[in-house]
Amino acid sequence: METEKPEYVDFAVTARKYKTLLTKKYQNRKQWINPSPYDIQSIIPGTILSVFVKEGDVVNEGAPLLILEAMKMQNRIEMPFTARIKKINVEVGVRIPRETLMIELEALDNE
């Protein structure tokens, strides 16, 4: 039935490489990236209702950073540990997708 020969690629399973075709789903799979604790990402898409901090602020663990409204719930995003706000990438009113880098943190230099 097949007239043209498919283009097989090398595919490693453990220590051996096999010639095979890849599925679309496999090709489109997401590469895993080790998340940085200094990146505050959205875990759900939604709208930024308020931002409580400014760039340069030193914020204590547990203090509110912003409110992300999603699925009719106002989610309070809190500081994961005491650190300085390096950059804020969102503003009030914007709608953001999932896994948006909302706030970047940096470690306090001393102490």
Partner 1 sequence: MTLKKNILALRQKKAIVEKGGGDKAIEKQVAMGKMTARDRILALLDVDSFHEYDLFVEHEERNFGMASKELAGDGVITGTGTINGAPICIYAQDFTVMGGSLGLKHARKITKIMDHALRMKVPCIGINDSGGARIQEGISALAGYGEIFYRNTMSSGVIPQISVILGPCAGGAVYSPALTDFVFVVENISKMFITGPNVIETVLGEKISQEDLGGARVHAEITGNAHFYALSEMECFDQIKELISLIPHSNQQKAVSVEPKEPKSLKNIENIIPADPKQPYDVREVIHALTDDSKFLEIHELWAANIVIGFGRLNGETIGFVANQPMYLAGVLDCDASDKAARFILYCDAFNIPIVTLEDMPGYLPGVDQEHAGVIRHGAKMLYAYSEATVPKITVILRKAYGGGYIAMNSRHLGADFMFAWPGAEIAVMGPEGAANIIFRKEIMEAEDEDAMRQQKVQEYIEKFANPFVAASKGYIDAVIEPSETRELLLHALEVSKNKDDHRPAKKHGIPPF
* By the rule CB under 8 A, 89 interacts with partner 1: no
Is residue 86 a contact partner of residue 106, using CB atoms and an 8 Å limit? yes
Q: What is the DSSP string of 53-108?
A: --TT-EE-TT-EEEEEEETTEEEEEE-SSSEEEEEE---TT-EE-TT-EEEEEE--
* By the rule CB under 8 A, 5 interacts with partner 1: no
CB of 94 to partner 1, least distance (A): 9
Question: Binding string to partner 1 for residues 6 to 45, with x set by CB under 8 A, is what?
Answer: x-x--xxxxxxxxxxxxxxxx--xx-x------------x
Give the three-class secondary structure for 46. Answer: strand
* By the rule CB under 8 A, 91 interacts with partner 1: no
Q: Which positions lie near partner 1, rule CB under 8 A?
A: 6, 8, 11-26, 29-30, 32, 45, 71, 95, 97
